[in-house]
Amino acid sequence: MTLYVSATPDVTERLPFPIGGIAVSAYPEDAGWDVTFGQLGFRLHATKDTPYRRETDQVQKQQFDTSDEAGEQSLSSWWLRSQSSWHMGAGIRWYEPGSEPDTKDRFADSCGVDVWTVGQLALLRSCVKLGPFTGPNYMSTMRKAGVDGYLHTYNNNVGFRADGVLGPYAGTGGSGVTQPAISVGKAWLGFSGGVNRYDVETNVTTFPLTSAVPCRAWWVKSRLIVAAGPALYEVSPTATGVLQTVGTLLYTHQDAAWVWSDVDEAPGAVLAAGRGAAESAIFRFSVENDTTGQPKLTGASQVAKMPPGEQVHTMRTYLGAYIVLGTTSGLRVGAINAAGDVQYGPLTFTTTNPVVSLAFRDRFVYALASRCQPDGTTGCARVDLSAPVGSTGRYAWAWDATTGGTDDATSICLYGNKDRVVMSAGDYWYVQTTNVPVASGWVLGGNIRFRTAEMKAFRFARLNSEVNDGSITLTTIAADGSEHRVYSYNTQDATTSDVGIQIPGRPTNQHLAFRITLTAKLPVGQPSLSPHVTGFAVKAVPAATRMRLVQFPVSLFDFEVGRAGQRYGVEGGALARMLALEALEDSATPVSVRHLASGDAFVGIIESTTFSSAAPPDRSQSGFGGVGLVTVRKL
């Protein structure tokens, strides 16, 4: 097939197809016509009833509002996009709640902002930095004598901490202490020389298990499970001696470099996740009754394998129904059944450093990772397990508490039964306050484009909010990433009025995103109320390229008189020229148009043609004929 390069049409081009016959030959181009369409020339016949007319084509069409969002497109002159809650979490690029339901009540990203109260944005509570204690530091949720707190281990020490309670600490008998495993009133601590047992009430450490291989312990289904290298053991809590002698070997992975990352329980099984040089997988140890009717753990069976290159660093189960995996790629949420079968979902969010520790409270899971926050600091994300995002297999999430530093993360827990996060990283640990907001935080909304690629003029924005002696700043982000301040609200400002959107040099945009920044009352670090936002709206009008329609009333007779007074034509010529115009209309072919009276010349498409004949021809125009109305769309 021969291919031809297409060029932009200009007014000198001929028609791309022959109209042939008398429509051209009997009415030559140089006859002095008022208007020409390609090679077709005509005299104008403008009257009161058939005027020459130029108009702008309609850009907005009248339509019924069928959006799920009340009022979204019901205004006659404005396009409106609004948001009144952010509790469905981060991760969207476009905010289209009417046409894309999975974007409703969601946003693109955030930092330092609590999005989990329906209908409200507020600042997160800040964290107090404690230490240094030679790391790594590990924390586990614990209550002592009815007091909420957490167990803290570092180097070779362990102790209970709470507000106003600082230990005392006891020695662990060796270095390399790992995450504590909490049982009733006790903690099991794997370390470089075995496993020790810490009595929280008496602050006494005993050393029941020894090992030449560093160990880590878990307490699941009232069983003590211990990992030593690639081997996994079940040990009686009353046993003493060498681990490999007094423990029951459950499974040894064939990869000598295998590390058991975590152990937790399913309704009818124990699950163990690990990672090696080539792969990462989850194994099940089913609970069955032995010959005496006592429950025991059976041999290992692999129930899940991670994608190539992705390794599990932490695994927790929750409420007998969920399994949460912290991996080198981010966080996955899955389902478990009574038999311990595992079905994990896609990545709810991604990180560049592994998610190393998980904690649960109510409907939330908190996931800790190093340098994961938008500002590059170490901290956690919060995931709402009660809020799946459509049928994607993902869950609502947002970045949460931060350490404010960049040390490597080690563990996260909740402060007893309270909703306060405790995180450890490097030689420090961080305890969330009860009523001191972070200095500032922001939420970035998804791009607003009104489900069309046409340009828009974004005119006004509105925030419904309470400043609470702080400040709130609204910023817009253009397609090139440039940010422009729309307005900063302080205590004296009314936050229920529209404010203008002005972007220098960019009166129209295909899409815009908006950042809402909350700043706490000064001085920062003191108990105070956070500013909060309860609603946001933006108004725009379409700014699509306007299309001009030009209507030419033309004379269509067999015989015509040119502008120079010369007579042209042939019988049947009017019909031939009318059919040639209709052929141009049918083909929608761009054609050069010249209006000699005004000097206007352009390329257009014939949108419509009409023909009417209401009177017999006069002495200068004989035969069949009438007046044609040719409407052309300028390109």
pLDDT for position 70: 39
Say yes or no to pLDDT of 108 above 90. Answer: yes
**94 and 41 in a common domain:** no
Say yes or no to pLDDT of 6 above 60. Answer: no
Which of 397, 421, 437 finishes a domain?
Answer: 437
Indicate the pLDDT class of residue 395, thresholds 50, 70 and 90.
Answer: very high
Residue 8 falls inside a structural domain:
no
**373 and 494 in a common domain:** no
CATH classification of the domain holding 513 = 2.60.120
pLDDT for position 172: 81
Q: Provide the 10 A C-beta neighbour count for residue 90.
A: 22
Indicate if the alpha-carbon torsion angle 422, 426, 428, 434 is positive or negative.
negative
**165 and 96 in a common domain:** no
Task: Name which residue leads in pLDDT, 57 or 301.
Answer: 301
Instruction: Report pLDDT digits (tens) over 111-165.
Output: 999 999 999 999 999 999 998 988 889 999 988 888 889 999 988 889 999 887 7
pLDDT for position 60: 57
**486 and 380 in a common domain:** no
CA–CA distances in Å: residue 283 to residues 21, 202, 254, 497: 85, 37, 13, 58
Nearest to 374 by CA among 356, 346, 394, 400: 400
Range of 419's domain?
A: 125-437
**235 and 340 in a common domain:** yes
Residue 15 falls inside a structural domain:
no
Phi and psi at 492, nearest 5°, equal -85, -10
Residue 381 falls inside a structural domain:
yes
Average pLDDT over residues 69-73: 45
Lowest mean pLDDT among 56-65, 381-390, 460-469: 56-65
Q: Give the integer Cα–Cα distance in Å for 35 and 6.
A: 26
**511 and 425 in a common domain:** no
**456 and 396 in a common domain:** no
**519 and 422 in a common domain:** no
pLDDT for position 76: 47
pLDDT for position 173: 78
**450 and 431 in a common domain:** no
403, 378 contact by CB (below 8 A): yes
User: Torsion angle of alpha carbons 352, 356, 359, 363, nearest 10°?
Assistant: 30
Average pLDDT over residues 262-284: 95
Say yes or no to pLDDT of 239 above 70. Answer: yes
Instruction: Report pLDDT digits (tens) over 429-454.
Output: 999 999 999 999 999 999 999 888 88
Indicate the pLDDT class of residue 11, thresholds 50, 70 and 90.
Answer: very low
pLDDT for position 374: 97
Which of 407, 437, 467 finishes a domain?
Answer: 437
Residue 65 falls inside a structural domain:
no
The tally of domains found in the chain comes to 3
CA–CA distances in Å: residue 405 to residues 128, 172, 424, 425, 519: 12, 28, 11, 9, 20
**429 and 466 in a common domain:** no
User: CB-based contacts of 578: which residues, under 8 Å, 6+ apart?
Assistant: 556, 609, 611, 628
Indicate the pLDDT class of residue 542, thresholds 50, 70 and 90.
Answer: confident
CATH classification of the domain holding 420 = 2.130.10.10
**250 and 371 in a common domain:** yes
Phi and psi at 22, nearest 5°, equal -75, -15
**510 and 594 in a common domain:** no
Which of 507, 542, 577 finishes a domain?
Answer: 542
Residue 93 falls inside a structural domain:
yes
Residue 469 falls inside a structural domain:
yes
Say yes or no to pLDDT of 20 above 60. Answer: no
Residue 577: strand, helix, or coil? helix
Indicate the pLDDT class of residue 543, thresholds 50, 70 and 90.
Answer: confident
Say yes or no to pLDDT of 385 above 70. Answer: yes
CA–CA distances in Å: residue 25 to residues 36, 502, 584, 621, 624: 14, 58, 17, 18, 18
Q: Give the integer Cα–Cα distance in Å for 155 and 176.
A: 6
For the chain, the average pLDDT equals: 88
